Amino acid sequence: MIWILSSRWAEEKECKLCGSRSIVISDALGVCNKCLVENGVEALKIILDAHRESRGRFGLPGEPPRDPGGVPCGLCGNNCIIPAGGKGFCGLVENRDGRIVRLAGTPDRGVVTWYYDPLPTNCVADWVCPGCTGVGYPEYSYSSRGAERGYYNLAVFYGACNLDCLYCQNWQYRNMTRELSPIRTARELASAVNDRVSCVCYFGGDPSPQMQHALEASRIMVEEKRGRILRVCWETNGLMNNVFLDKAVELSLETGGIVKFDIKAWTPTIYRALTGVDCKKIFENLERAIRRFDERPEVPLVTVSTLLVPGYVGVSEVEKIAEFIASLNPNVPYRLLAFHPDYLMSDLPTTSRRHAEECLKASRRAGLRRVSIGNVHILSNIEYDYY
């Protein structure tokens, strides 16, 4: 299958528009960064075929449906208008005879698994969170210094997503969506919290298509564990309904948790090329969450991360994201993550050390005060243009 890791990153691939060749052009996209920026309309015509192929294997729509005679879903920022007999982009919603039917993501039906992850863990916010640093002690952490050793993060993996990242590290969630399995109720999930669990983090896939399930599970958890520390965290693309976002932010604010936004790119054509959807709603939601950042200064309410995809997410993309964050609040922590080739973009190299370091400088230059590089163990010394 074409998502098996390969050594093709060392080969130059050709842009189908301008004919340039580079090791940081992915065959899955078929076009280079420059064409995406300067000739986005034509570039996306090529790239969206890759998303249709990616999703077709799992019985999912190639793009968010916009059928004039369809029924609106409204559950997330994609705002799908689903045709008769069709599915929403996430694969969990159907239009049956003009009626929206939610196959999963409700309090009674979540496509989800979970496991106990010992603290400290490799969470994207591990450098600023109570569970891994002791920040916020004693209200939000059991540890007065360092990590909460002996405690666990309940890592909740949701088996659906409202993006289609062609480099997805957890691409297997698509099998869960297709099979609608395993199904668990919100109460079953909440019952997984024991006395050694000090935080729960929703990821996937993404929690966005199943927020009703996650919010109900969180409500039960917090209610039943009142009087002791239980942080509620979200690792998300941010493409959720405003109402659900506000509830997630409120839960994290109350419990000492963090809303961790994974921002893929700044330029709309690059964002859509990588994910298959538009990014406007995501930046609106990020701004909405950051507005409340100063309500709890001891533990950051919001963090942001960006995966440094060679050839596509370089210095200029990162600097613009950082400028946006800094314009809202320069104290928001920003994590730059090293890319590892996977899924349909296994023909790219890992992020180079130079690429990461230049992005770090650019983020600080943009005005952010708290920036770090994650996944440093996979940084390479491979030379390529990082824009």
Give the bridge partners for 155, in sequence order: 115, 201
Question: Tell me, what DSSP letter sits at residue 313?
Answer: S
Query: Do 218 and 88 reside in the same domain of the chain?
Result: no
The Cβ of residue 97 has, within 10 Å, a number of other Cβ atoms equal to 8
Query: Do 214 and 98 reside in the same domain of the chain?
Result: no
Query: Do 87 and 154 reside in the same domain of the chain?
Result: no
Identify whether the C-beta of residue 203 lies closer than 8 Å to the C-beta of residue 158.
yes
Identify whether the C-beta of residue 319 lies closer than 8 Å to the C-beta of residue 362.
yes
85: containing domain:
65-103
pLDDT of residue 1: 34
| Tens of pLDDT, residues 175-232 | 999 999 999 999 999 999 999 999 999 999 999 999 999 999 999 999 998 889 999 9
Query: Do 169 and 304 reside in the same domain of the chain?
Result: yes
- The separation between CA 191 and the C-alpha centre of its own chain, rounded to angstroms, equals 26
pLDDT band at 8 (very low <50, low <70, confident <90, very high): low
Whether 34 maps to a domain, the answer reads: no
Whether 1 maps to a domain, the answer reads: no
Question: Tell me, what DSSP letter sits at residue 352?
Answer: B
| Tens of pLDDT, residues 63-109 | 999 999 999 999 999 999 999 999 999 999 999 999 999 999 999 99
CA 133 to each of CA 121, 241, 335: distance values in angstroms, whole numbers, following the listed order = 11, 31, 16
CA–CA gap between residue 10 and residue 178 (Å, rounded): 34
pTM listed for this prediction: 0.95
Whether 28 maps to a domain, the answer reads: no
Query: Do 96 and 117 reside in the same domain of the chain?
Result: no
Query: Do 328 and 230 reside in the same domain of the chain?
Result: yes
pLDDT of residue 6: 52
SS3 227: coil
Domains in the chain, number: 2
CA–CA gap between residue 224 and residue 112 (Å, rounded): 21
Query: Do 85 and 174 reside in the same domain of the chain?
Result: no
Query: Do 77 and 116 reside in the same domain of the chain?
Result: no
Whether 123 maps to a domain, the answer reads: yes
Whether 32 maps to a domain, the answer reads: no
CA–CA gap between residue 119 and residue 229 (Å, rounded): 14
Dihedral sign for Cα 314, 315, 321, 325, please: positive
- Residue 208: name the closest of 182, 235, 184 by CA: 235
pLDDT of residue 7: 59
pLDDT band at 2 (very low <50, low <70, confident <90, very high): very low
Q: How many CA atoms lie within 13 A of 94 on its CB side?
A: 8
The enclosing domain of 118 has a CATH number of 3.20.20.70
